[in-house]
């Protein structure tokens, strides 16, 4: 990882904008997150296993002879529920984005409870865009977002919490 880490450090020092590091399905462990923070990264999307498997999608594009080479690694990766509790060590210094399998407002509540600052998920929103009509796409997209927001509100009500930001504090008390 040293070559990659060196390139990230150069980007952090030379680009005029913050750098967000995003995994694409295997997750970012605490030791890697600490190394990223040490070179100046303050935004990390841990993007764990459980969501869209980009490795699987890319493997499907390969000829069968090459696909077999990668097949043992298609389920490679950390689960977000394993990674987030240990990430608490750096939560004050780094903004953690949790993605990989977020499908509804309850999933979002769980990510926030486990310590994420932000949750991200594409599949539920992409499904709302499967129609050809632009007006229908927009309405379905807004409805999907509204549903996620309402589900999060229900989760907050059921836990006796007023603000989503306080879900992470609930975990600290337990």
Q: Quick check: is 170 in a domain?
A: yes
pLDDT value for 174 = 47
Q: For the whole model, what pTM was predicted? A: 0.83
Is 141 within 8 Å of 129 (Cβ atoms)? yes
Residue whose C-alpha is closest to residue 172's, from 48, 85, 42: 85
106/73 same-domain check? no
pLDDT value of residue 128? 81
- Which residue pairs from 144-148 have beta carbons closer than 8 angstroms and sit at least 24 positions apart in sequence? 147/104, 147/105, 148/104, 148/105, 148/108, 148/124
Answer yes or no: is 83 within a domain: no
Residues 174 and 111 in one domain: yes
Question: What whole-number distance in Å separates Cα of residue 75 and Cα of residue 137?
Answer: 32
Please indicate, yes or no, if residue 153 is contained in any of the structural domains.
yes
pLDDT band at 172 (very low <50, low <70, confident <90, very high): low
* Same-domain pairing of 72 and 118: no
Range of the structural domain that residue 111 is part of: 102-174
* Within-domain flag for 89: no
The position carrying tokens 């997150």 is 33
Q: What is the mean pLDDT of the chain?
A: 88
Q: How many domains does the chain have?
A: 2
For tokens 């690694």, name the residue. Answer: 73
pLDDT of 170 higher than 90? no
Question: Using an 8 Å Cβ cutoff, are 167 and 112 in contact?
Answer: yes
Question: Do 70 and 125 fall within a single domain?
Answer: no
**Which residue in 18, 36, 45, 33 sits closest to 121, CA to CA?**
45
pLDDT at 77 over 70: yes
**Residue 6 above 60 pLDDT?**
yes
If one counts every other C-beta atom within 10 angstroms of the C-beta of residue 10, the result is: 11
State yes or no: pLDDT of 126 exceeds 80. Answer: yes
pLDDT above 70 coverage of the chain, percent: 96
**Highest mean predicted confidence (pLDDT) among 21-25, 31-35, 61-65, 164-168:** 31-35
Domain boundary among 42, 77, 112: 77
């Amino acid at each position: 990882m040293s070559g990659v880490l060196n390139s990230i450090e150069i980007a952090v020092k030379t680009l005029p904008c913050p750098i967000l590091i995003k995994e694409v399905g295997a997750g970012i462990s605490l030791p890697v997150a600490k190394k990223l923070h040490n070179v100046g990264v303050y935004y990390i999307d841990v993007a764990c296993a459980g969501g869209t498997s980009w490795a699987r999608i890319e493997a499907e594009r390969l000829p069968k002879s090459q696909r077999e080479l990668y097949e043992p690694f298609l389920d490679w990766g950390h689960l977000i529920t394993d990674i987030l509790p240990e990430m608490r060590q750096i939560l004050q210094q780094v903004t953690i984005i949790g993605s990989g399998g977020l499908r509804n407002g309850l999933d979002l509540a769980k990510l926030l409870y486990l310590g994420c600052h932000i949750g991200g998920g594409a599949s539920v929103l992409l499904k709302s865009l499967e129609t050809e009509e632009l007006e229908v796409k927009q309405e379905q997209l807004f409805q999907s977002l509204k549903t996620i927001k309402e589900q999060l509100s229900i989760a907050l009500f059921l836990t006796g919490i007023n603000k989503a930001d306080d879900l992470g504090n609930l975990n600290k008390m337990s």
